[in-house]
Copies of this chain bind each other. A is one copy, B any other.
Amino acid sequence: MPQLRLLPRGAWAALVSQLLRPPRTACTGVVLCHSQVAEAVLTSQLKPDQEKSNFILKTPKGTRDLSPQQMVVRKKILDTVVSCFKRHGAKELDTPALELKEMLTEKYGEDYLLIYDLKDQGGELLSLRYDLTVPFARYLAMNKVKQMKRYHVGKVWRRETPTIIQGRYREFCQCDFDIAGQYDPMIPDAECLKIMCEILSRLQLGDFLIKVNDRRIVDGMFAVCGVPEGKFRAICSSIDKLDKRSWEEVRHEMVAKKGLASEAADQIGDYIQLRGGVSLVEQLFQDPRLSQNMQVLEGLRDLKLLFEYLTLFGINEKISFDLSLARGLDYYTGVIYEAVLLQTPAQAGEESLSMGSVAAGGRYDGLVGMFNPKGHKVPCVGLSIGVERIFSIVEQRMKAFGEKVRTTETQVFVATPQKNFLQERLKLIAELWDAGIKAELLYKNNPKLLTQLRYCENMGIPLAVIIGEQELKEGVIKLRSVASREEVAIKRDNLVAEIQKRLSES
């Protein structure tokens, strides 16, 4: 079952969609003929038949279109996520997809290599945003905002490589919630974990667990294991890969590539096997080496308080203190967390295994200060929901259960049994639209009645209004229930009211 191993962000999603969708056209390098463009463009006409077999019709590597069916599913997920963010009092913010390149430097550790840069076409050097957190911090610093609870739903871009094999997306949607401001310890942090629990519960993704650690505990652990301070972030990045690589691989990277002493690596290897609840916090207070480290003690004290609040929120059983959780990004300074699904309903019966993170976040008290000329800090804590993976899980489950989605919301179809009735259909449908009723007709002068009624059935449109010579003469319209096929004649003047009544009843 290799696909049930710990998989990286997006991997599971892609595996599912690879299984479910027709194979994509293979990607080959395509070289453009730029030089011809400038010359051709002033005189260009549409040339349907030339120079087209040269290129492969596809979206860029690691990106995809979302079909109407997928958009309905996606929307449902986003609605659940956003309504939870609003339930917790968050405001919405939007920032550009583009940031000045310099805004993104020194924020992401080794992952800076994954940032998409724009071509220098004159003017500023720009990059596509890598996450929604750094733009949020930039916004706070730029506008001198000291307190803010905001959410942000938007796309981010990462040059993950290889894409297809590991199945990561290079363009994907994030849903972020963050609390900025100086507050009493661990109250906002606990709320972030509560939000993750609420969202994962309401999405009905099956059982989940939230791993929690603290960056100060990670760093303190490194210190007592003999990692030189200058290597903290690099070793942290290695540990972060434990969800997709074996300990042996990670250890090799730390020792062979990053020059860590093998004794230090082995000591880390012992600690990162520890996981548990608040009792593990108590246990580590007694650890002869860790308890000598001030950073560790601060982290443990905060985690203890955090567990107290989580218990009051009734979610402590969903939380696991896990020393192997490191989080790769540079900017975390305190508590960090990552939610993993234990199994999905579709896999009930199979072995219960972790299937990769669907939400993550942590505290970053220094990031805003990096943008402030005087280094003024605004403490922040937040979380990000990994929509792509959740989307794949929900999509797969819907297919497994044969659930169908309507991709339109059309309520009424305007039909006629007669030829040369387009004018009356157009007048009638305009009345419906103007009354706010969702209505469609066929774009044909003389469609067959059967074709029209079949369209209603195929599209799940509940009502049809039928107009013909007879109806026109009598000043009525036939109103048909598509499901029951019952028809009644309604006075034209009463039609809108009758339709609205029927729709409100259903």
Interface residues of A (CB under 8 A from B): 27, 29-32, 37, 40-49, 52-53, 55, 57-61, 63-68, 70-72, 74-75, 86-103, 105-106, 109-110, 112, 116-121, 123-126, 128, 138-139, 141-143, 150, 155, 157, 159, 171, 179, 181, 183-184, 187-188, 190-191, 194, 198, 230-234, 258, 309, 312-314, 330-331, 333, 366-367, 369-373, 375, 377, 407-410, 422-423, 426-427, 430, 433-434, 436-440, 443-445
Contact = CB atoms under 8 A, between A and B. Distances in A.
Contacts of A258: 42
Given A41-B106, A373-B53, A443-B183, A124 B46 contact: no
A369 to B, nearest CB: 4
B309 A433 contact: no
A314 B101 CA distance: 52
A97 B57 contact: no
Nearest to A90: B408
A433 B55 contact: no
A234 B171 CA distance: 35
A440 B46 contact: no
Nearest to A424: B312
Contacts of A40: 106
Contacts of A110: 41-42
A308 to B, nearest CB: 8
Given A29-B123, A91-B408, 9 more contacts: A42-B109, A48-B372, A58-B100, A59-B95, A60-B98, A65-B94, A71-B94, A87-B437, A91-B407
Contact of A312 (B90, B377, B430, B440): B430
| Copies of this chain, count | 2
A110 to B, nearest CB: 6
A102 B30 contact: yes
